[in-house]
Amino acid sequence: MSRLTLGPGHRGAVGDALSVALPDRSRPRLRGLAYVLVGLRVPSIPLPSFRRLGGVERTPARPLVGLVIVSHSARIAEGTVELAAVMAGPDVRLRAAGGAADGSLGTNAERIAGAITEADAGAGVVVLVDIGSAVLAAETALELLPREIARRTRISRGPVVEGAVIAAVQASIGQALEEVLQAAEDAAGLEKR
């Protein structure tokens, strides 16, 4: 068994760090870790920071997959990005593309295209969308992008919040585009109880 300690920025009722035991075979791929962390049901404990793992500062050796959160509500998109950023750390490019151009509820293909461009570090982008027309707006945004960026962008069928958090963690550990997309989509089957 290996032990992964998350922190040291974590401060809460139970101490200064959250420690998770991992079987040695899971060490190269921490996919299960995202499910463990999302499954925590302790509201008095702030979510841990992934900026430092095991006391060692992380810097990505290669570009990481970025994420764009598309919602009809700017506040939902921004809040989801905030939550996913706490879990993934500063290395993953997370962008919110919520609301219509005038600030009302809705979606905006140009705003989504801009967010995809900003989120792309060269490894691709996963776009998570809330409902109906957000999918159409995201598809339209792909048509506005340079072909190279559009080719490495995927629109997820996964849930926005859970999918974003799990995908962001997977991106932060260097998973490839298709693996990050699959993690976002697998979040649809996440047990909440």
d(CA 114, CA 85): 19
> Hey, CA dihedral for 175, 178, 180, 185, is it positive or negative?
negative
Identify whether 10 is a catalytic site residue.
no
Marked catalytic residue, from 6, 50, 72, 184: 72
Give the other-Cβ count within 10 Å of 47's Cβ: 17
Helix, strand, coil percentages for the chain (3-state, nearest 5): 40, 20, 40
Residue 118 belongs to what H/E stretch? Answer: helix 109-119
Distance CA 11, CA 18 (A): 9
Phi, psi of 177 (to 5 degrees): -50, -50
CA distance 147 to 44: 46
Instruction: Identify the DSSP state of 108.
Output: -
Active site residues: 72
